């Protein structure tokens, strides 16, 4: 996937599709018939490298600082051409950890209870056609999977089915919600039980703005409207607000990366969402994705196309949202490479950034008030170069209690790493 110009064209190209009635598929699983696997459950052929400590700046062939390689399943072992998004699920009954790995042609489910020997449990094929973009989120033991492929809908998969798998399976979805035929992403606020479907068709009823989906009853999903006034939403974070602005504490706040701006919306009342504020910045090319720090005061925002368009070091914009009505650009952080930034998440005092060809970067953000950000570690899944192209690390999932970090790489597949002792 070298310097995918077609990716950029597709970012701005959206095909008109009509809404369809929700469809339900059966959930009978069948053995993989066309995809050869290794003996047993462990896909040993997918482990291109065995576990490797980070020594003298390398973990095997991968540049690193402070993070060890535990396991790796190559993209070819998933019988796919490209990787994309990823997410995680921890089974509260067994405490097992699983990675949900997005692929161009489906979603793979991997048991990482022993991260040095990850087990591929099976694959859920795409609803319709393969596609570059697939996004996965988890709520209440269910995975929700969207794609920009035509008429894909939202696949719903009961993750508790993974408990009994003894051989790799080809799965079917428990349900497919086709009221929103295509979407770039689905954001979930686990505290409210609502999904926020974003990156939809620009000519749908909300003009590509967010759709509200009530997930609290998995037997009775309900779409409860949406919001068009802030424009097309590419990605978002939605939180029950506990930050410093007392006017909005306890409200459900949507922070949308809307291509050319950050939008802040009060979505507490789904029938009456209200735009609180919008924020812009210089050299805007594609406002892509962002995440609150743990205090919900500072918001770390990425523009996906700035490094590609004008060059320069990886840029992250930090907005001070002490007053949600008046967002202020607080600082601009520059990384050490020229790679493009993609998805970034905060856990504690660390910001984990999927940085395409530069792999994942780990940045200390415990002193944002004084504009101090320091890279404290990295793991480069794409050792070829750090050029501003669309290769390498698409996503990072740092939220497992075990400390294992999952990286989904476009070219390389799934990497499992952990901080060095």
DSSP class per residue in 154-179: EEEEEGGGGGG--S-EE---SEEE-S
Asked if residue 22 has pLDDT above 50, the reply is no
Give percent of the chain with pLDDT exceeding 90. Answer: 87
Q: What is the DSSP secondary-structure string of 215-228?
A: -S-TTS-EEEEEE-
∠ Cα 83 346 193 (to 5°): 80
- When pLDDT is averaged across residues 394-401 and rounded to a whole number, the result is 98
- pLDDT over threshold 80, residue 34: no
Do 414 and 73 meet the contact criterion of CB atoms below 8 Å apart? yes
Are 41 and 87 spatial neighbours (Cβ–Cβ below 8 Å)?
no
- pLDDT value at 418 more than 60: yes
Q: What is the pLDDT of residues 36-61, one digit of tens each?
A: 333 233 333 344 467 999 999 999 99
Q: What is the mean pLDDT of residues 389-393?
A: 98
Do 91 and 98 form a contact (C-beta atoms < 8 A)? yes
pLDDT for 219 equals 87
Identify the bridge partners of residue 15 per DSSP, sorted by sequence position: none
Residue 30 has pLDDT above 70, yes or no: no
Residues 6+ away with beta carbon under 8 Å from 100 = 86, 87, 88, 89, 107, 108, 109, 110, 136, 138, 143
| pLDDT tens for each residue of 289-339 | 999 999 999 999 999 999 999 999 999 999 999 999 999 999 999 999 999
Burial tier of 278 (Cβ tally within 10 Å: 0-12, 13-18, 19+):
middle
Going from the N-terminus, what domains does the chain have, and what CATH number goes with each? 5-419 (2.130.10.10)
For residue 103, give both structure tokens.
């692929």
Q: How far is CA 273 from the centre of its chain?
A: 25
The closest of 215, 213, 124, 174 to 23, measured between CA atoms, is: 174
pLDDT value at position 319? Answer: 98
**CA separation for the pair 403, 406 (Å, rounded):** 10
Mean pLDDT, the chain, whole residue set: 90
Q: Determine the pLDDT at residue 166.
A: 87
**Is the model's pLDDT at 342 over the cut of 60?**
yes
pLDDT band at residue 218 under the 50/70/90 scheme: confident
Mean pLDDT of 132-140: 97
pLDDT of residue 29: 37
pLDDT band, residue 369 (cuts 50/70/90): very high
What pLDDT shows up at residue 27?
36
pLDDT digits (tens, 9 = 90+) for 233-283: 999 999 999 999 999 999 999 999 999 999 999 999 999 999 999 999 999
Return the pLDDT at 49. 62
Mean pLDDT of 397-409: 98
Entry pTM = 0.90
């Amino acid at each position: 996937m070298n310097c995918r110009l077609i990716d950029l064209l597709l970012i701005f190209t959206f095909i008109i599709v009509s809404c369809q009635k929700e469809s339900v598929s059966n959930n009978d699983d069948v053995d993989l018939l066309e995809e050869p696997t290794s003996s047993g459950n462990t896909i040993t052929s997918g482990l291109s490298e065995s576990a490797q400590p980070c020594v003298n700046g390398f973990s095997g062939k991968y540049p690193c600082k402070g993070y060890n390689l535990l396991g790796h399943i190559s993209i070819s072992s998933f019988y796919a051409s490209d990787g994309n998004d990823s997410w995680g699920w921890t089974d509260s009954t067994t405490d097992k950890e699983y990675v949900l790995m997005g692929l161009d042609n489906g979603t793979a489910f991997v048991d990482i209870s022993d991260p040095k020997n990850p087990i591929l449990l099976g694959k859920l094929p795409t609803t319709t056609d393969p596609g570059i973009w697939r996004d996965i989120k988890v709520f209440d033991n269910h995975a929700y999977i969207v794609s920009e492929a035509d008429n894909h809908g939202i696949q719903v998969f009961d993750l508790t089915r993974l408990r009994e798998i003894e051989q790799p399976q080809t799965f079917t979805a428990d349900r497919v919600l086709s009221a929103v035929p295509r979407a770039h992403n689905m954001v979930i606020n686990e505290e409210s039980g609502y999904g926020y479907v974003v990156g939809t068709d620009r000519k749908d009823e909300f003009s590509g703005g967010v759709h509200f989906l009530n997930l609290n009853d998995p037997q009775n999903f309900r779409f409860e409207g949406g919001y068009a006034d802030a424009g097309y939403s590419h990605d978002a974070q939605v939180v029950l607000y506990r930050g410093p602005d007392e006017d909005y504490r306890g409200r459900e706040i949507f922070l949308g990366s809307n291509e050319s701006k950050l939008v802040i919306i009060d979505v507490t009342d789904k029938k009456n969402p209200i735009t609180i504020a919008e924020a812009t910045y210089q050299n805007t090319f594609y406002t892509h994705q962002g995440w609150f720090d743990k205090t919900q005061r500072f918001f770390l925002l990425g523009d996906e196309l700035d490094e590609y368009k004008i060059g320069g070091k990886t840029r992250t914009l930090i907005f001070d949202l002490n007053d949600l009505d008046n967002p202020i650009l607080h600082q601009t952080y520059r990384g050490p490479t020229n790679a493009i930034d993609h998805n970034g998440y905060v856990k504690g005092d660390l910001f984990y950034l999927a940085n395409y060809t530069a792999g994942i970067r780990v940045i200390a953000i415990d002193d944002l008030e004084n504009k101090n950000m320091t890279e404290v570690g990295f793991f480069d899944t794409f050792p070829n170069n750090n050029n501003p192209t669309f290769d390498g690390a698409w996503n990072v999932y740092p939220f497992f209690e075990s400390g294992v970090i999952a990286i989904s790489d476009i070219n390389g597949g799934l990497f499992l790493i952990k901080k060095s002792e």
